[in-house]
Amino acid sequence: MPAANQRPTLDFDPQLTEGCYRLRGELTFATVTQALKATRKLMERGTSPVVFDFSGIRRSDSAGVALLIEWQRMAASVGRTLRYTQVPHALNAIMRVSGVVGMLPLDTPTHPVQPLH
Model confidence over 59-83: pLDDT tens digits?
Answer: 999 999 999 999 999 999 999 999 9
Per-residue model confidence (pLDDT) at position 27: 95
Among 1.10.510.10, 3.90.1150.140, 3.30.750.24, 3.40.1050.10, name the CATH number for the domain at 10-103.
Answer: 3.30.750.24
Taking 70 as the pLDDT cut, the residues of the chain under it are: 1-5, 108-117
49 burial via Cβ count (<10 Å: 0-12, 13-18, 19+) = middle
Per-residue model confidence (pLDDT) at position 17: 83
CA-nearest of 96, 23, 101, 42 to 69 is: 101
Per-residue model confidence (pLDDT) at position 30: 95
Per-residue model confidence (pLDDT) at position 5: 64
CA-nearest of 68, 4, 2 to 32 is: 68
Q: CB count, 10 Å around CB of 113?
A: 16
